[in-house]
Chains A and B, each alone.
Chain A
């Protein structure tokens, strides 16, 4: 079982590394597409298709059809979060001999998950009111994309640098800290109607009572149960699937799959 988990984690890390090196800007490009729509409205212009919206559209369609696999496997900022968290785990284990995966309690996670919607609303409103120009240099994403382009941000990015450092610290304290709590693009993804056939389902009848390993392991502390009000929060990391000792978790509705098997 442990072997299988490690293998799944290594494959995921390898895919994340490839995307981090070759496509580090996808997430901010996708959000630039969302912003371009609101910039057009703010300027009282027609909304026209542009190269940012190519990426936004592609990622949204992929998300609707196959779930948020982009977030779990391809987003450079998400991968950065995973790296920071895993590094902290490693240090905790080696230096402080603490076992288990640290994180916030479920209640706190639920509340903090709402913050990203507020942030998205704030950003889009500030674009509409023309306020956004004043936020120049405050975006931690800009600083991150400069660093991935091997360029040092100058002094006008002070606020952005400080925010990026704070986010990096946050990433160490909770798995997928930024994605769950702050990412405005994550908020857009979470609102998408992901097809029920692309969601993780659990064969509850086969689960022993009081197991809950999947929920404990899930970075978002989700009840794995197909289509729920919170199913948009799933970033398709597949951790629940490989953690379940009974292999009760699969993508797509369970009953149909069993019927196919029979």
Chain B
């Protein structure tokens, strides 16, 4: 054949691409199955908790018919407890509401900087009610653009964890470490 080597290489490349696509679709199925399982587990837990709540409520109603004021309070506490068990988010929200008076950080936008790979990385951190709502890299002159945008993946982990104690991005260790340290620097300035 005329272009024997070329054809063999095309074949190899197609096989590799097919393997990658196959792997991805398998992984997708796996995660979907996992998610479906988690959802059924969670709904089951919610159902159980709702039943418990009902039981507690009816028990309280029967036991304290005469003490109406006390009963109302007890029911409220029970429902709050059940609600806080079902989802972590509502717990957070409640905590924030109660802690509003003594925030750790001042609200506002703060800049911080730290050493990245080839120079300083400067970030802008926006805080509201002790929550990090936004992180922007404002300047990183020494960073290679591909590494920087890869390292910026650490921002979403910081935002979702609401903490700077997160893993660095593999392959862009220096850039992501620089971003983390810059956020730490900014948070230090925002402390009450």
Q: Which residues of chain A have a CB within 8 Å of any CB of chain B?
A: 25, 29, 32, 35-37, 39, 41, 44-47, 50-52, 54-55, 145-146, 149-151, 191-196, 227-229, 231-232
Stretch in contact with the other chain, from B3-11, B35-43, B92-100, B182-190: B3-11
Asked if A52 and B171 make an inter-chain contact with CB atoms under 8 angstroms apart, the answer reads: yes
- Say yes or no: A229 contacts B5, CB within 8 Å: yes
Knowing A25-B144, A51-B150, A193-B10 touch, does A37 contact B118 (C-beta < 8 A)? no
Contacts A25-B144, A193-B10; A46 near B150 (Cβ below 8 A): no
Supplied contacts A37-B20, A228-B5, 10 more A-B pairs, CB within 8 Å: A29-B147, A32-B150, A47-B23, A50-B149, A52-B146, A52-B147, A149-B117, A193-B13, A195-B6, A227-B4
Bound: A35/B13 CA distance, A: 17
Q: For the complex, is B27 an interface residue (Cβ under 8 Å from A)?
A: yes
Contacts of A228 in B (CB 8 A): 5
CB distance from B96 to the nearest CB of A (A): 32
Contacts of B9 in A (CB 8 A): 191-194, 232
| A50–B10 touching, CB < 8 Å | no
In the complex, per-residue mask of B148-163: 1 if CB is within 8 Å of any chain A CB, else 0: 0110000000000000
Closest B residue to A149 by beta carbon equals: B118
Which B residues lie at the A interface, using CB under 8 A? 2-7, 9-10, 12-13, 20, 23-24, 27-28, 31, 117-119, 142, 144-147, 149-150, 170-172
- Give bound CA distance, A55 to B114, whole Å: 27
| Residue numbers in A under 8 Å from B147 (CB-CB) | 25, 29, 32, 51-52
Contact B146 A192 (CB under 8 A): no
CB distance from A139 to the nearest CB of B (A): 12
Q: Given the complex, which residues of B lie within 8 Å of A29, measured CB to CB?
A: 144, 146-147
User: Can you list 22 contacts pairing A with B, beta carbon distance less than 8 Å?
Assistant: A25-B144, A25-B147, A29-B146, A32-B146, A32-B147, A32-B172, A36-B171, A39-B170, A46-B28, A47-B20, A47-B24, A51-B145, A51-B146, A54-B146, A145-B117, A150-B118, A191-B9, A193-B10, A193-B12, A196-B6, A227-B3, A232-B9
Measured between alpha carbons, how far is A45 from B7 in the docked complex, in Å? 32
Of B2, B144, B147, the most chain A CB neighbours within 10 A belong to B144
Q: Chain A residue with minimal CB distance to B13?
A: A193
Indicate if the CB atoms of A231 and B5 lie closer than 8 Å: yes
Q: How far is the CB of A57 from chain B (nearest CB, A)?
A: 12
| Docked complex Cα distance between A232 and B38 (Å) | 49
The chain B residue sitting closest to A32, CB to CB, is: B171
On whether the beta carbons of A51 and B3 are closer than 8 Å, the reply is no
Q: When chains A and B are docked, how far (Å) is the Cα of A149 from the Cα of B170?
A: 19
Residues of A within 8 A of B10 (CB): 193
- Closest A residue, CB atoms, query B9: A193
Are B31 and A46 touching (Cβ within 8 A)?
Answer: yes
Contact A55 B146 (CB under 8 A): yes
Q: Which A residues lie within 8 Å of B150 (CB)?
A: 32, 50-52
B23 to chain A, nearest CB (A): 7
Of all chain B residues, the one with the shortest Cβ separation from A35 is B171
Q: Residues of B contacting A47 with CB < 8 Å?
A: 20, 23-24, 27
- B5, B23, B28, B31: the one contacting A227 at CB < 8 Å is B5
Residues of B within 8 A of A32 (CB): 146-147, 150, 171-172
Contact A46 B144 (CB under 8 A): no
Which partner residue on chain B sits nearest A43 by CB separation? B170
Complex alpha-carbon distance, A228 and B20, angstroms: 27
Q: Is the CB of B12 within 8 A of A191?
A: yes
User: Which A residues lie within 8 Å of B145 (CB)?
Assistant: 51
